[in-house]
Chain A
Amino acid sequence: MAKNNPQMTITPSVSNLPVKLPVAANKHDHARNPGTELNLDWIDNLQVNLSAVERRTSSLLGRRTVKKDWQAAWLLKALSCIDLTTLSGDDTPGRVKRLCAKARSPLRHDLVEALGIESLNLTTGAVCVYHEMVPTAVKALEGANIPVAAVAAGFPHGLSPMKQRLAEIRASVSEGAKEIDIVITRGHVLTGNWKALYEEVKAFREACGDAHLKSILATGELATMRNVAKASMVAMMAGSDFIKTSTGKESVNANLDVSMVMARMIREYLDQTGFKVGYKPAGGISTAKSVMGFQFLMKEELGAEWLQPDLFRVGASSLLADIERQLEHFVTGRYSANNRHPVG
């Protein structure tokens, strides 16, 4: 299949890597993906069989489950990977402050105590907002060690002038955003213009500087899994730190099938280059049960390292509330209700 670039180091397979301790979301204990040259041979040779991918994901949910203490721990881990998000036209500083407060303190104190996890100082993975809200969020999260992520580059359509898209990224970074969630030009994928896609994402990466680049592929608009695979690979070659499924605004959001394909591309990229790229499903993940499906997929396809917030994030808003309810159920044995948990 793909040809090795002689400059790249080949690492052993990922599955037997030791489990890493949790790290704060903005700390990375792996080398940042610098990207590679655009290698069209890799792209041309990528193969994805949709039906086989679907069979794997549907069987995966039957093959893996976690119960009791394990389920509680896995849900806490999911919580720590949430990019708590508000991306609405009616966002205000007040709304964002409320969200940041929730990100700092995502779980009721009595539940934290009952679970015996005070020492984890659990927070969400990040807070994700539009550019205008970045200063508010940065201020609200001061001292909390929670990065602010800003969507940028003409989010959600990605079709504003390139100059403006780059300026938007720089503006957010200068306001204190540590992560930038950009959208790609879907047209480059649909027309097979991999060079244009590569250059676009590469320019975004340069604009990011030290901020981490999360590339949204908007998979619901890429038509085929083969396109998803190729776009994933190009985005990684161009230096993405994360690849992300959706803006939340497409008609089809993150699902396990698309995640299977993107996770396998991350593994392929790791095998070829030695660099670890993170994964962020986003949009429509609103239940504890569904987020565990994504976690199983990460662990099975990429290893437990990809359960940690430096390599796995979930873009969500209402998911947190469901996790809180499930954790309360674990603690009390009674099914919980939304009104018992502070809103974000």
Chain B
Amino acid sequence: MTAKTKVAEIFETMEYGPAPESDATAKDWLAQHHNKFGHFINGKWVVPAKGKWFATKNPATGETLAKILTGTKADVNAAVKAARAAQKKWQALEGFERAKYLYALARLIQKNSRLLAVVESMDNGKPIRETRDLDVNLAARHFYHHAGWAQLLDKEFQGYEAHGVVGQVIPWNFPFLMMAWKIAPALAAGNTVVLKPAEFTPLSAILFAELCEEAGLPHGVVNIVQGDGSTGAEIVKHPDIEKIAFTGSTEVGRIIRTATAGSGKALTLELGGKSPTIVFENADLDSAVEGVVDGIWLNQGEVCCAGSRLLLQEGIAEKMIAKLKARMKNMRVGQPLDKAIDMGAIVSEEQWSKIDGLVKRGVKEGATLVQPGKDSCPKDGCFYPPTMLTDVQPAATVAQEEIFGPVVSVLTFRTPEEAVLLANNTRYGLAASIWSENVNLALDIAPKLKAGVVWINSTNMFDAACGFGGYRESGFGREGGREGMYAYLKPKFIKSLPAYKESKTKQSAAKHVPAAIENLANIDRTAKLYIGGKQARPDGNYSLSVTGKNGKLIGQVGEGNRKDIRNAVEAAKKAEGWSKSAHHLRAQILYYIAENLSARKDEFRKRLIEMTDATPAAAAKEVDESIRRLFTYAAWADKYDGDVHTPPARLVAVAMKESVGILGLVCPDEAPLLGFVSLFAPAMAMGNRAVIIPSEKYPLSATDFYQVFDTSDVPAGVVNIVTGDRAALTKTLAEHDEVDGIWYFGSDTSGSKLVEASSVGNLKRTWVNNGKQRDWLDRDQSEGEEFLRHATEIKNIWVPYGE
């Protein structure tokens, strides 16, 4: 008998064979450019004869794909200059005109989708299946969606305008998709862009720039500068850029936050994560297994929102681990251009070593290693097998640190409450996935998780209409949807606000030494601090003098110090119930505050006259406006609702507006009453607990308010007030890791920098005035939606349905 044919052999083994996607067109494209690429600046290709070049490699083969120019300071300057020159005209285009360009880009992406998918796969090492089915499709959808926002901008974002020139630095894990997420909203809003791709993955951005040429995009609207971290740093520190958008590691996010502090640049950061997948005992376990596959083995686990912590309810833990072990054996790791593989190559050897180092450390710290076996990966090329670490304790490094590789750490829990505790036991807060067939349980857990995206019975689903972004050290700002558009817009009035004058002398506040207070009532009334619903003596036991308009001593307040800030934050932490309270209740209490302020109108009016140089009429107006403002936020308390998105699938994505948590509020000196009310009222209305630093110079309107709070049923700890040295208190507050956000409207020109620079510890949200003074009586500037937006986080909860 003759030897068996190949077909007959396969008939017996029933193996999968190779199914290669051709790289011929991609290689032709590279060859047309002599495998050498420079920058795309002002609609032209910058490929100088001399320059510093680096190689971009295919991590699956080690083959060098092209030489790429490293961007210098001069290159960045040229790109920013081009973007600046193009910006006004771009912004001035009618929305419909910008929409046509974005639509053209969406169409061009679709028309060139296979080349884009192949190039992306070769450059990054991710499977062609993913670039083809996920990255490129989602990118095209992003441009379609934002063509729509360009069209609707004038109507839907009245009073807002583009920042101007935007600097964008993107990562290597989803190079093309992240570029789309950055460029589409920026352009829709009327900004022009200087974008730097990651050095490991420069190619798809070059293809995109060619599509911009084909679309006839005006020169300078999109500029691509290649390079490494040093090029990125040039963009971040460039003085003529108004906004920086960054996606990447938390470590670099911190550096950027520090570098941009006080520069007036707007900033959004989409950073790392250690996202939990929570599997309850009543879950469809087989589907949950696939959830883990999609969660941690998508893109080799090199995903910021990867489900890298698997939390299993104890009763099903063993069964689930057994199912996962079996499933891992079916994972096919191999050439990214093979259409029938599940995982491709790790992006670089450095990344591979980092992953391997952390896995070894996990084992050293007691974890059990589960991998499918020796032959599960190709020997050559940068491949890492699907990996599971069981018996991981929360204290282990692999339970806390982002691995950014195909490694899932398994922990167990007993009760839903414990699941939430473990899920939130992290510095990050990007995403979470909940598996349970009990919708009551799933929808109870979702709001309790500190995460910007929660997927119920699903994972790693994305859509341009649904905001994506994190809580905590996973960054701030959202990409996608209406909330994503706000990241590329600013209120129009900002540019015409007057600047505070820089003052060399301190505004006030000498330590009090005995002196006569004129017209002092018979009984001394020195305000202490207001902490946890009570007046608390300042830790340092000093008081500060408050002087009136003619330098007369009119009262004293406590001199708060860092310990008082600590105590105030503790009190705010305990008042967590406020964040869960019914919106109706919040409204009731704000109305009650307004009612009680109204009853004491005269006293507050007199105080303003005595303390500031306000005329009686101006003081009356400020008090009246304060009452009115309280009414505004009482009105908003039960109306600033979330949205329900309908992405193209059978599901709803509920965009819930949640309180930020604990907010620090630093009040302006001007309008000592109205400024104070304008900050705490929206914060309270949205369920935040506040630690307030009132005007240093005119603190008595705030301290007089203690009794208003006391008589208005404000729960203890919801509002906490610490008087004293604004700069020192602000620094402590901005540095405090328990504080989730801080608003700075103080009058010190250096205050904004102080706040932004001090916020890097936990990357709290900051909203600062950049030394510019709002008119607190002007409702367009000082009340409403902008304040509510800063008082809330948007959490997108994805709820697939169907039985």
Whether the pair B802, A51 counts as a contact (CB closer than 8 A) is yes
- On chain A, the residues within 8 Å of B457 by CB distance are 49, 51-52
List the A residue with the shortest CB-CB distance to B128.
A62
Whether the pair A51, B11 counts as a contact (CB closer than 8 A) is no
Interface residues of B in 13-55 (CB under 8 A from A): 13-19
Known contacts A21-B12, A52-B284, A73 near B7 by CB under 8 Å: yes
- Flag whether B339 is at the interface (Cβ < 8 A): yes
CA distance in complex: A53, B291 (Å): 10
- Flag whether B651 is at the interface (Cβ < 8 A): yes
Known contacts A47-B283, A47-B285, A67 near B329 by CB under 8 Å: no
Which residue, B133, B287, B801, has most C-beta atoms of chain A within 10 A?
B287
Known contacts A1-B316, A15-B327, A67 near B19 by CB under 8 Å: yes
CA distance in complex: A115, B6 (Å): 9
Whether the pair A51, B330 counts as a contact (CB closer than 8 A) is no
Which residue, A59, A63, A120, has most C-beta atoms of chain B within 10 A?
A63
- On chain B, the residues within 8 Å of A64 by CB distance are 16, 340
Interface residues of B in 429-482 (CB under 8 A from A): 437, 457-458
**B284's contact among A48, A115, A224, by CB below 8 Å, is which?**
A48
Interface residues of A in 99-148 (CB under 8 A from B): 115-117, 119-120
- On chain A, the residues within 8 Å of B294 by CB distance are 55, 59
Known contacts A13-B325, A47-B283, A49-B437, A115 near B18 by CB under 8 Å: no
- On chain B, the residues within 8 Å of A343 by CB distance are none
- On chain A, the residues within 8 Å of B4 by CB distance are 116
Give B320-346 as 1s and 0s: 1 = Cβ < 8 Å from A's Cβ atoms: 001101110110000000011110000
- On chain B, the residues within 8 Å of A224 by CB distance are 803
- Flag whether B534 is at the interface (Cβ < 8 A): no
Whether the pair A51, B650 counts as a contact (CB closer than 8 A) is yes
From A31-39, A181-189, A239-247, A299-307, give the one contacting chain B.
Answer: A299-307
Whether the pair B326, A15 counts as a contact (CB closer than 8 A) is yes
List the B residue with the shortest CB-CB distance to A46.
B284
CA distance in complex: A78, B127 (Å): 28
Q: How many residues of B contact A (CB 8 A)?
A: 54
- On chain A, the residues within 8 Å of B458 by CB distance are 51-52, 55
CA distance in complex: A54, B10 (Å): 30
Whether the pair B5, A68 counts as a contact (CB closer than 8 A) is no
- Flag whether A14 is at the interface (Cβ < 8 A): yes
Closest Cβ of chain A to B610, distance in Å, is: 65
Interface residues of B in 702-749 (CB under 8 A from A): none
Q: For the side of the interface on A, what is the size category?
A: 35 or more
- Flag whether B129 is at the interface (Cβ < 8 A): yes
Whether the pair A51, B15 counts as a contact (CB closer than 8 A) is no
Whether the pair A70, B10 counts as a contact (CB closer than 8 A) is yes
CA distance in complex: A69, B13 (Å): 12
Whether the pair B326, A16 counts as a contact (CB closer than 8 A) is yes
Closest Cβ of chain B to A118, distance in Å, is: 9
**A65's contact among B6, B322, B340, by CB below 8 Å, is which?**
B340
Whether the pair B10, A51 counts as a contact (CB closer than 8 A) is no
CA distance in complex: A50, B802 (Å): 6
Known contacts A47-B283, A49-B284, A51-B650, A116 near B8 by CB under 8 Å: yes
- On chain B, the residues within 8 Å of A275 by CB distance are none
List the A residue with the shortest CB-CB distance to B282.
A47
Closest Cβ of chain A to B412, distance in Å, is: 16
Closest Cβ of chain A to B316, distance in Å, is: 7
Interface residues of A in 258-305 (CB under 8 A from B): 264, 267, 299-300, 304
- Flag whether B602 is at the interface (Cβ < 8 A): no
- Flag whether A169 is at the interface (Cβ < 8 A): no
List the A residue with the shortest CB-CB distance to B1.
A119
CA distance in complex: A202, B802 (Å): 32
Whether the pair A65, B339 counts as a contact (CB closer than 8 A) is yes
**B287's contact among A1, A53, A74, A77, by CB below 8 Å, is which?**
A53
**A69's contact among B6, B800, B802, by CB below 8 Å, is which?**
B6
Interface residues of B in 530-550 (CB under 8 A from A): none
- Flag whether A225 is at the interface (Cβ < 8 A): yes
- Flag whether B319 is at the interface (Cβ < 8 A): yes
- Flag whether B613 is at the interface (Cβ < 8 A): no
**A56's contact among B5, B16, B287, by CB below 8 Å, is which?**
B287
- On chain A, the residues within 8 Å of B780 by CB distance are none
Give the top 5 A-B pairs by smallest Cβ distance, nearest first: A116-B5, A70-B17, A51-B800, A52-B287, A73-B10
Q: Which residues does B use to contact A, with CB under 8 Å?
A: 1-2, 4-19, 129, 132-133, 281-288, 290-291, 294, 316, 319, 322-323, 325-327, 329-330, 339-342, 437, 457-458, 650-651, 800-803
Can you list 28 A-B contacts (CB < 8 A)?
Answer: A14-B326, A15-B330, A16-B329, A19-B12, A19-B13, A22-B12, A48-B287, A49-B437, A51-B801, A52-B458, A53-B284, A55-B290, A59-B290, A63-B340, A63-B341, A64-B16, A66-B19, A70-B10, A72-B7, A73-B6, A73-B8, A73-B14, A116-B4, A116-B8, A119-B1, A119-B8, A264-B286, A304-B13
